[in-house]
Chain A
Amino acid sequence: MVNLKINNIDVQVEENTTILEAARRNHIDIPTLCNYPDLSIKSECRVCVVEIDGQKKLPTSCSTIVREGMVVNTNSPKVLNARKTIIELILANHDANCTACPKNLNCELQALANKLGIDKNRFPTVLEVQPVDDHNPVLVRNINRCIKCGRCIDMCKNVQSMGVLDVMGRSKDSKITPAYGKYLSDEFCTYCGQCSSVCPVGAIIEKDDTDRVWEALNNPSLHVIVQVAPAVRVSLGEEVGMAPGSIVTEKVVAALKYLGFDAVFDTDFTADLTIIEEGNELIERVTNGGTLPMMTSCCPGWINFAEQKYPEILDHISTCKSPQQMFGALAKSYYAEKMNIKPEDLFVVSIMPCTAKKYEAQRKEMRIDNINPDVDVVLTTRELGKMIRQMGINFEDIQEIPFDKPFGITTGAAAIFGATGGVMEAALRTVYEVVNKEELQDINFTQVRGTDGIKEAEVVLGGQKVKVAVAHTLANAKILCEQVKAGTSPYTFIEIMTCPGGCIGGGGQPYGTTNAVREKRIEATYNVDEDMPIRKSHENPDIIALYDEYLLKPLGKKSHHLLHTHYSSRNK
Chain B
Amino acid sequence: MMLLKEILSKYPQDPEYLIEILLDYQTSKKTHYISAEDVSRISQHLDIPESQICSVISFYTLLSMEPKGRYVVQICHDVPCFVNDAANIYEVLVELLGISEGETTPDNLFTLEITECLGCCNESPAMRVNNQVYTNLTPAKVEKIISDLRGEVK
Size of A's binding interface in residues, CB under 8 A: 14
B interface SS class = helix
* 8 A/B residue pairs, CB under 8 Å, sorted by A: A157-B52, A163-B50, A167-B59, A168-B55, A168-B58, A178-B51, A179-B39, A187-B51
Which residue among B36, B48, B54, B59 has the maximum number of chain A CB atoms within 10 Å of its CB?
Answer: B54
The answer to whether A167 touches B55 (Cβ under 8 A) is yes
A158 CB, nearest partner CB in chain B, Å: 11
B12 within 8 A of A: no
A residues in contact with B39, CB < 8 Å: 179
Q: Is the CB of B51 within 8 A of A166?
A: yes
Q: How many A-B residue pairs have CB under 8 A?
A: 37
Contact with B along A157-171 (1 / 0, CB 8 A): 100001111111110
A contacts with B: majority SS: loop
Look across to chain B and name the residue whose beta carbon is closest to the beta carbon of A178.
B51
Asked if A179 contacts B59 (CB within 8 A), the reply is no
> When A and B form their complex, which 4 residue pairs have the shortest distance between CB atoms, in order from nearest?
A163-B49, A166-B51, A166-B55, A179-B54
Residue A180 is within 8 A (CB to CB) of chain B in the complex = yes
In the complex, A170→B55 CA distance in Å?
Answer: 9
Candidates B49, B53, B59, B65; contact of A164 at CB < 8 Å = B49
**Smallest CB-CB separation from A167: which chain B residue?**
B55
Out of B36, B54, B65, which one reaches A166, CB within 8 Å? B54
B59–A166 touching, CB < 8 Å: no
User: Do B36 and A180 touch (CB < 8 A)?
Assistant: yes
Shortest C-beta distance, B53 to chain A (Å), equals: 8
Among residues of B, the one whose C-beta sits closest to the C-beta of A572 is B40
Interface residues of B in 83-105 (CB under 8 A from A): none
Within 8 A of B (CB), among A170-203: 170, 178-180, 187
Q: List CB contacts (< 8 Å) of A9-34 with chain B.
A: none
Could you tell me the distance between the alpha carbons of A169 and B59 in the complex, rounded to whole angstroms? 5
Cβ of B54 and Cβ of A168 under 8 Å apart? Answer: yes
Q: In the complex, how many residues of chain B place their beta carbon closer than 8 angstroms to a beta carbon of chain A?
A: 13
Cβ of B43 to closest chain A Cβ, rounded Å: 9
Task: Give Cα distance in the complex from A162 to B54, angstroms.
Answer: 15
Give Cα A179 to B49, complex, Å. 9
B58 close to A162 (CB less than 8 A):
no
Chain A residue numbers with a CB within 8 Å of B51 are 157, 163-166, 178-179, 187
A165 to B52, CA, bound (A): 8
**Residue in contact with B58 in the complex, picked from A163, A164, A170, A187, CB distance below 8 Å:** A170
Q: What residues on B are CB-neighbors of A179 within 8 Å?
A: 39, 49-51, 53-54
Q: How far is the CB of B121 from chain A (nearest CB, A)?
A: 26
Distance (whole angstroms) from the CB of A177 to the closest CB of chain B: 8
Return A519 CB to nearest CB of chain B, in Å.
30
Q: Which residue of B lies closest to A163 (CB)?
A: B49
Distance of B95 from chain A, by nearest CB (Å): 30
**Cα separation A40 to B48 with both chains bound (whole Å):** 18
**Beyond A157-B52, A163-B48, A169-B58, 18 extra complex contacts between A and B, CB < 8 Å:** A157-B49, A163-B52, A164-B49, A166-B52, A167-B59, A168-B54, A168-B55, A168-B58, A169-B59, A170-B58, A178-B51, A179-B39, A179-B49, A179-B53, A179-B54, A180-B36, A180-B54, A180-B65
List chain B residues, Cβ under 8 A from A187: 51
Residues in B with CB closer than 8 Å to A163 are 48-52
B39 to chain A: closest residue by CB: A179
Bitwise interface map of A from 500 to 534 toward B, beta carbon under 8 Å scored 1, else 0 = 00000000000000000000000000000000000
Residue of A166, A168, A169, A180 near B49 (CB, 8 A) is A166
Task: Give the distance to chain A from B100, nearest Cβ to Cβ, in Å.
Answer: 20
Q: In the complex, which residue of chain B has the Cβ closest to the Cβ of A162?
A: B49
8 A Cβ contacts from B19-43 to A: 36, 39
CA of A345 to CA of B19, assembled, Å: 59
Residues of A with C-beta under 8 A to B52: 157, 163, 166
Residues of chain B contacted by A170 (CB below 8 angstroms): 58-59
B69: min CB distance to chain A, Å:
22
Alpha-carbon distance A187/B58, docked complex (angstroms): 19
CA distance A168 to B59 in the complex (A): 7
Closest Cβ–Cβ distance, residue B112 to chain A (whole Å): 21
Least CB distance, B70 to chain A, in whole angstroms: 24
Residue of A nearest to B50 (CB): A179
A402→B58 CA distance, assembly (Å): 56
Could you tell me the distance between the alpha carbons of A187 and B52 in the complex, rounded to whole angstroms?
Answer: 13
Q: How far is the CB of A517 from chain B (nearest CB, A)?
A: 28
List of B residues within 8 angstroms of A157 by Cβ:
49, 51-52
Question: In whole angstroms, what is the CA distance A164 to B51 when docked?
Answer: 6
Task: Give bound CA distance, A543 to B10, whole Å.
Answer: 62
